[in-house]
Each structure stands twice: as structure tokens, then as C-alpha cells.
Structure 1
Amino acid sequence: MANGNEICRMDAVTLAGKVRAKELSPVEVIDASLERMDKLEPVLHAFCTPGPDQARAAAKQLEADIMAGKDPGPLAGVPIGIKDLICTKDLPTASGSHAYKDFNGGVDDIVVERLRAAGAIVTGKTNVPEFGYSGVGHNPVFETTRNPWDLERTPGGSSAGAGAAVASGMGPFAIGSDGGGSVRIPASFSGLVGIKASMGRVPLWPGTKDETLPGVSSWESLECIGPISRTVADSALMLSVIAGPDMRDRRTLPDAEFDWMDCLKGDLKGLRVAYSADWGYTPVDPEVRQIVGDAVKVFESELGCTVVEADPGWDDPYGAFWGLVAAETDLVGMRKLVDEHAHHMTPHLIDFLRTPFTAEDLTSAVMARKGVANKSAAFMADYDLLLTPTLSVPAFALHIQGLEKVDGQIVPPFQWLAFTFPFNMTGQPAASVPAGFTKGGLPVGLQIVGRHLDDP
């Protein structure tokens, strides 16, 4: 019989297989996961709202179903944390904000419905910055999430708790959301795999859709829900469950004409690959540049690709990105929240919401997105894949929004996100995979970007 540590080291594919084969019971699996949470949560604060009672009840029900001969599903008994921006019917969704501290809408988001139906067991809600308007892991309500690789550093966000939970073995994977990099950021900072599928592959509701919930209703044309995992196979397994159309999300695509698990087969031989180390305009930490550059060489030397150094050629769209965020934010509703809760809201979020945006600011952002998408499409016509650093820097200290000096240059505090958010603007599939470690032992991610809808 496997002990708790052995169970926590197993990937989701293995765990689900053993539960289906009755080699492990879902109760054993959840007990191991919850025991690890009990040990690590006082230090890491990955879960803002643990759900041990709900998880144990679900595990016992699944065990009874298995003994009765029912199909336990492809995720049979696998523990999973749900990001605290994604609604759950049996746990509150506070979104890292005092305005929603006790909120429970009584409904599961579509992806949570699908995960539960596939046999996954929710162990709790994972921590986020307030409303997800940040790439780190602190908020005004809960304890700050810490990076398992260095407790004095951020695990990245906004899927901060998801990254910390998976990196520390509290579960083999977790569900995150990515409006500007928020799946790929914690994957890079925490040594994990994070995948943002093409816009529309995975449905969202009520997240980004419910007009009655200011803050929750934001980011509609930018946000993609996706997996954070320790293996690529586990991310594919989750996507095989959560992807597919739903009438509640008008942006969802028809079912994919491929099998997510079949994407693990084959090789990359003969692919033409572009590599941009800095977009031609953004400073990058020298150690990150070296580590990612060495990883890129493997595509040519070992995987049979042709690698060309090239930049897509767009101007920095940082300002336009935040214009899009503003256009999809309920500014009336959220400004009312500021009026009521400003004394305990995140300062940079207050500043953003109080910005006097003009109609021209917002329409210019829309036009800029068209320009980025057009340049990206023209660029990718010549390449099968685009490689970049996932982030400009390794994990940095807690309780800041970002470094203001990178490779000797003074930069805005969010400049370290320069590689991720353009692909929320274009909707292209993008993933972060581990590339190596700094001399100080911090993980560094490599971003892999595909053509429009070319998720395989």
C-alpha cells in the first residue's frame, strides 16, 4: 500500500489509473492530499479556503460508486484546487477582496462542473491577488502565498495558490485562469507546466460573464481557464475534460478536431521555430536570457527543428492591454466598490479604477489589439512555433508588484510580464514549461506559442 508521500508524488494520470483499477481508494488519495495541506499550509498559504469536509464526503461517495461498479471517470479521485476567481457552489469565492469575502453564488463554473463529473475531487480554493488584477500572490483578505522554492519570494500569480499547491505536492494539478499570463506566470516561477489554450477552447461561466458581479465579470475577451501541473500529460488530461463548447459562453469553439492526449505522441522534427529573446524592446535578466537560450538550442540540436532568431515586430502593447482590461471592467460597479471598500483594497487596483479613461483610450486599445493580432498572424505564417522566455525575471520578493530595475534598466513594475499578455490579446495557444534553474535555485520558464487554433 502506497504511503501519503508516495501518493502526493504521483501525477494525475497515474493516480486516476490506480483509482480506476482499485489499487488506490479515493479516500486514501484525499487523506494524503489533505494531510500534506495540513503540514504545508501554515507556511505556504496556497489555499485561502480549504475544503476538507467537502473533499472527504466526495471521496467517500466516489469510493461507494466504484464499489457499486459505476465508472469513476477519467480523473477518478484526483485532488484539485480551484482558483478563487472561479465559482464553486459549495465553497465561497472571495476573489481576494473584502467586497466578496463571504460571497457564494451557489453555482459551479462550467469547468468545475466538468471536473467534478470526471471524478476529480475539489480540496479547496487557491489564493489570488485582488480580482486577479496582478501577477503576484498577495491580497487584503488572506495570508500571502509563498513560493515553495524560496519562501521569501512570490510564486507568481494571479493563479498564485494554484502554483504553490502543485509545486509542493498538495495535488498533481490545479485549475487556473489566464487573462494576461496568470497560468503561465506561476508555472514559470514555480517550476511547472502551465497551458493557456486557444481562446474559446475552454468555456467560462459565470466567470467573466455575470453582469451582476463587478470584478468577477471582467476580462471576457482575454481570460482563458487552464491547467497548472507538474507534467505535460497531466495538463493534456485536464484539457481533455474541461475543453469543449457550452451555450452559456458565446465565445466557445466547437469541439476540437483532435484528441488532447494524442497530442503527447509524435515529435517536432522538421518544424520551423522562431526565437525572440526580448521582443527587440524589453530588458531581460541576464541569467534568464542564458537559461532560456540554452533551452532553445535543444529544439535544434535534439528535437530536429530549424530555429531562427526573429521578432514579431509589434510596438510594446502594454498600454493597449490595460486599455482592453478597462474596456471589459465594470467601471461603474467597481468604482462603487472602491467607494465602499477603498480603506482595504489594493492600492494599484484603486488607481487603475479611478483612471479617467476616455472613449478614445478604449477604442485605441481595440485598434492596437488588431495591430498585434495582424502582425502575429503574418509572423506565424513563416513559423510553426514561437519561443520566448515566459517572464523577464525569476521570482522576486513578496509584497511588490514587480521589479523596477531589470538588466540595469529602470522599467515599469509590470514590465516583467512583457512576454505573456500579447497572446491574451491575440488568443493564440501558449504554454510555459521548465527551462532550468538560476544559480540561486529559482525556476525559469520557457514559453512556447502556437499558431492561431494550433493547440496540438
Structure 2
Amino acid sequence: MRRHERDELCGLSATEIVDRVRRRELSPVELVDAVFDRMWEVEPTLHAFCTPTPDLARAQAIRLADALARGEAAGPLAGVPMGIKDLLSTAGVRTTSGSWVYRDFVPDQDDIVVERSLAAGALCAGKTNTSEFGYSATGQNMLFPITRNPWNPALTPGGSSAGSAAAVAAGIVPVALGSDGGCSVRIPAALCGLVGFKPSMGRVPVYPGCRDDRLPGVSGWESLEHIGPITRTVDDAALLLSVLAGPDPRDRHTVPCGDIDWIGAARSGRRAGAVAGLRVGYSPDLGYLAVDPRVRGVVDRAVTEVLEQRLGCRVETVTPGWPDPADAFSALIVAETDLTGMRRMIDEHGERMSPHLVAWMREDWTAQQFTDANIRRKALVNAMAELMSRIDVLVTPTSAVPAFPIGSHGPAEIDGRPVSPSAWIGFNYPANLTGQPAASIPAGLTDDGLPVGLQIIGRHLDDATVLRLAAAVEQAAPWSGQRPPCGVGS
């Protein structure tokens, strides 16, 4: 296959792939060959995939091609190559959760989202790299090489769905599955110039992840975790959500999803006047976060020039009024962890585990810290509900900073203010604490060419409005479709 032909195939959206495969204008086998040709080219630089699965993907593609030749109906994801975050179980395929402790673990079942994706015709390109058990907003662990950002390999792609975002941004696969317990779909989407959608709590079932009591580290985050797509377009995010969403009795949080036409919601956002008059509350800092001036400038322009002037949204600057919930969020993560199991694991394998994770689990946590965190969460939920009664969506930057050098968990200073290593993700975890839908979409580039994300938070269970506004912005924005420089693996 010639290079330009390969790059054309790897540049297709999932929506385009499904259409061409269904009409038998595109061979899924040829597409898989292009994907892995691209993967072998860029992997030595990016380290997006920790466990590639070329034989599996090719076998799936052959079965799909044979089924189509027999005249069988194609599924909604027919022929779409997909990256699957290594926190999500894949039956028969190694799933390490980014931990040396699980370096040889092969699950006996798929996560529900994997099961649904494969049943819909998706092709598994492999497992994508993640921070250990998802306990970091960057893509580093003690087991695999650190994942790098396709926009600049010296910088982080964000995390913990680091490999998923890097794989999509680099043009290896058009879509990938991520998980988001506090930022981990939206942050890497923002830092890699992509769309990342965290659906409402319960829209997309989570199992066995977060719920397998046999696996310390894997079994945490239950009331915080969401699974969502990382894609290059809003339409592709909607396509995946149409497959992933829907209740399952194995996840007690799931809710009926018949009230949403995911694909229709995205399409409606591109109609003239689709979001005119939408009440947008814009908070550039939530009243307490330090924000890099480069990020603030890009997001300010996006809000003014696109949401307000081009789309006709009614924009109001708001200060939500709740205090920074960082300490409560941290305590709730630990409260939902198998602390006994994790500490036992650390006693045996701690020297091979991420130092920040070891220190976090070894803190002398008290019952009062955990109950205080629950009360803080209730206060935040109430304050957010009051705010959302006055607006349709809350818009913020996604990340307080652009991508920064690999090797750290976050900058020590933002805009001249000393901050904690996790302060840069402070826009994200309020929506995990409340369970509201939230998406990150590209807002433009900094003057030095780094992507900046715009976060859209919707009302309780109002995923459709988030999708509609995201699609409207994507269509109206002058930066729509910007991709990493061609120098990386091109």
C-alpha cells in the first residue's frame, strides 16, 4: 500500500468508515493493514499502545468481510478500528491496568463497553497505555514507556487515557475508549486537540471495571467513574455513544437511555440557529483556579467569537460559588478503593509501583475525612443544581494549562501562583462528583501551537444539549479539523 493511500485510510472518520464498509467500497482487511502500518511507524516515538493486537484485528476484519460478502447486515461500528484503554477488560487479551502487579493478567470477560463495541462490528487494534490504575492525569507507569503527545513528543498527552488520545490524534485509529473518574477522557482530549465525552453517570455501564471485588486497584472509583469516547469529531463521539449507552443490571448506577437520540442530537447542532438563545454560563476559573494566560486567552476568544457572536448563545460570566473540592475528591477516591488490598499489594510490590500512588495509599486516612468528603460532595451537588437552574450549560477551560513536559504529574506553578500537582485538572472533577455530562472540544491553539480544550457541562442527564452545542461549535469554529504537525511519524 502506498503511503498516501495509507494516510488517506487512517484519516477517515469512524462515520465515513462505516458508510464505506457497508457499501463494500472499503475492505476492513485493507483498513486494518493501514492501521498497523501507521502504528508501527509512530509507536517507537509515541508509545500509545501497550498491547497491540494485529492478529486479532485482522481476524475480526476477515470475519466481517466474509459476513458482508454473504449479504449479512453490518453493525453500527462495522469496520471501525478502535483503541481500548488498558483499564478496560478484554477477554483473552492482556489487561494490565498500567501496573506491574497485573503485568500478565488476562481477563475472562470483556468490559460491557468492549462487548458492545465488538458486537457492533468494531475492530480491536489493541490496548492503550494508562497511568497505574488511572491514579494520575498523565500517561506514565512503571511497566511501559511513557506515552507522548503527537503535537510535541516532549510533552504529555494528558491522562489517564493517555494512549487512547495519542492514538487518535496521531491517526492510528479514528476512535478509542477512555475512562474518566476525574478528568481522564476530557484532559487528554484537550491536550491532544480532540473530542472527549464523559456521559452522565449511569448512561454507559461500567463492569467489571470498578466492581470486580477480586482485583485491588481495579475495583475502585465506583461512584466517580464514567466511560466515554475519544474521537476526532463530534459525530464519531455520538456514533460510539449510540452503541455504548443503555442500562445493564451488572451496573447498579445505570439508567434507561431511550430519551436520547445520540446521533440525532449531534446532527441537530449543525442546523442554522440550533443553539441560538442557549443560556451559557462561562466561568474562566471557577472563582478559585489559577489558569495559564495562554489557555484563558484561547477560551475567551472561543466563547466570545464562536458561542456568542457566531452561534447566538446568551453568554453570562458566572462564579459558581463553591469552594475548591480537591481535598474531598481525593478522599472519596481513597474511600472507594480497596485500601486493605492495595496496602497488601504495596507491602509486597511497592518498589515496582508508582511512588505517588504508594504514598497516597499509605496516608493515615481517617473515617472523619471520608465522611467530611461525602458532606462536601453533597454541598457541591446542591450548589451545582442551583447554578444549573439558571443556565443550560456551564462552559470552562478543560485544562488550566496546555501540555507540559513529560515526567511530572503537573506544574508546580500556574500564572505565577504556586499550586498542587493536581491543580491543573481542577475544572474537571466537579462533574464527576455530580455525575453530570461533560465534554471537551477543541477551542483553538496557543501562539506556540498547542491545543486548548473548551469544556461543556450539561444539566443532570442532559447529554443531548452537550452534544448539540459541541457539534455547533465544531461546525462554526475556524480551528475545526486542525491536526498535529506532519513531522511526527509522517
Counterpart CA distance in 1 for 2:260 and 2:97 is 34
How far residue 300 of structure 1 moved from its aligned partner, in angstroms, is 1.1
Match of 1:142 among 144, 168, 172: 144
1:11 is aligned to 13
Counterpart CA distance in 2 for 1:389 and 1:195 is 15
Structure 2 residue 278 is matched with structure 1 residue 276 = no
Q: Secondary structure at the match of 1:270?
A: coil
How far residue 255 of structure 1 moved from its aligned partner, in angstroms, is 2.2
1:44 is aligned to 46
1:57-96 matches, within 5 Å, as 57-96=59-98
1:122 is aligned to 124
Identity of aligned residues (%): 56
1:435-454 matches, within 5 Å, as 435-454=443-462
Counterpart CA distance in 2 for 1:119 and 1:71 is 10
Query: Which string of whole-angstrom CA distances, capped at 9 and with x for unpartnered residues, describes residues 172-213 of structure 1?
Result: 110000000100000000000000000000001100001011
Counterpart CA distance in 1 for 2:72 and 2:94 is 30
Structure 2 residue 309 is matched with structure 1 residue 301 = yes
Counterpart CA distance in 2 for 1:124 and 1:105 is 14
Structure 2 residue 202 is matched with structure 1 residue 200 = yes
Structure 1: state its 5+ residue gaps.
Answer: none
How far residue 105 of structure 1 moved from its aligned partner, in angstroms, is 1.7
Counterpart CA distance in 2 for 1:157 and 1:268 is 31
1:327-366 matches, within 5 Å, as 327-366=335-374
Q: Secondary structure at the match of 1:308?
A: strand
How far residue 438 of structure 1 moved from its aligned partner, in angstroms, is 1.0
Match of 1:424 among 411, 432, 435: 432
Contact 2:51/2:127, CA 8 A, preserved across alignment? yes
How far residue 104 of structure 1 moved from its aligned partner, in angstroms, is 1.0
Structure 2 residue 413 is matched with structure 1 residue 411 = no
1:215 is aligned to 217
Q: Secondary structure at the match of 1:227?
A: strand
Q: Secondary structure at the match of 1:3?
A: helix
The amino acid that maps onto 1:184 is R
The amino acid that maps onto 1:411 is V
Counterpart CA distance in 2 for 1:377 and 1:391 is 23
Q: Secondary structure at the match of 1:204?
A: coil
The amino acid that maps onto 1:349 is L
Q: Secondary structure at the match of 1:86?
A: coil
- TM, length-normalised to structure 2: 0.92
Contact 2:98/2:130, CA 8 A, preserved across alignment? yes
Alignment RMSD (CA, Å)? 0.9
How far residue 256 of structure 1 moved from its aligned partner, in angstroms, is 3.2
How far residue 347 of structure 1 moved from its aligned partner, in angstroms, is 0.7
How far residue 72 of structure 1 moved from its aligned partner, in angstroms, is 2.0
2:189 is aligned to 187
Structure 2 residue 298 is matched with structure 1 residue 291 = yes
Query: Which string of whole-angstrom CA distances, capped at 9 and with x for unpartnered residues, describes residues 319-377 of structure 1?
Result: 00011101100000011110111111111100110011111110111111101100000
Counterpart CA distance in 2 for 1:228 and 1:106 is 25
Match of 1:155 among 154, 157, 165: 157
1:233 is aligned to 235
Query: Which string of whole-angstrom CA distances, capped at 9 and with x for unpartnered residues, describes residues 7-26 of structure 1?
Result: 10110000011001000011
Detail structure 1 runs of 4+ shifted over 2 Å in the superposition.
none
Q: Secondary structure at the match of 1:252?
A: coil
The amino acid that maps onto 2:57 is A
How far residue 27 of structure 1 moved from its aligned partner, in angstroms, is 0.3
The amino acid that maps onto 1:116 is L
Match of 1:254 among 252, 256, 261: 256
How far residue 41 of structure 1 moved from its aligned partner, in angstroms, is 0.6
Counterpart CA distance in 1 for 2:5 and 2:328 is 51
Counterpart CA distance in 1 for 2:102 and 2:352 is 12
The amino acid that maps onto 2:284 is A
Q: Secondary structure at the match of 2:165?
A: helix
Contact 2:328/2:373, CA 8 A, preserved across alignment? yes
The amino acid that maps onto 1:322 is S
Counterpart CA distance in 1 for 2:57 and 2:280 is 44
Match of 1:379 among 387, 399, 404: 387
Counterpart CA distance in 1 for 2:127 and 2:182 is 21
Counterpart CA distance in 2 for 1:105 and 1:258 is 32
How far residue 90 of structure 1 moved from its aligned partner, in angstroms, is 2.3
Q: Secondary structure at the match of 2:440?
A: strand
Counterpart CA distance in 2 for 1:280 and 1:319 is 17
How far residue 440 of structure 1 moved from its aligned partner, in angstroms, is 1.3
Counterpart CA distance in 2 for 1:31 and 1:71 is 23
- TM, length-normalised to structure 1: 0.99
Match of 2:104 among 78, 102, 105: 102
How far residue 71 of structure 1 moved from its aligned partner, in angstroms, is 1.3
Query: Which string of whole-angstrom CA distances, capped at 9 and with x for unpartnered residues, describes residues 26-59 of structure 1?
Result: 1011111111001111110000000001111111
Structure 2 residue 378 is matched with structure 1 residue 370 = yes
The amino acid that maps onto 2:295 is V
Query: Which string of whole-angstrom CA distances, capped at 9 and with x for unpartnered residues, describes residues 412-448 of structure 1?
Result: 0100011001100000000000001111111000001
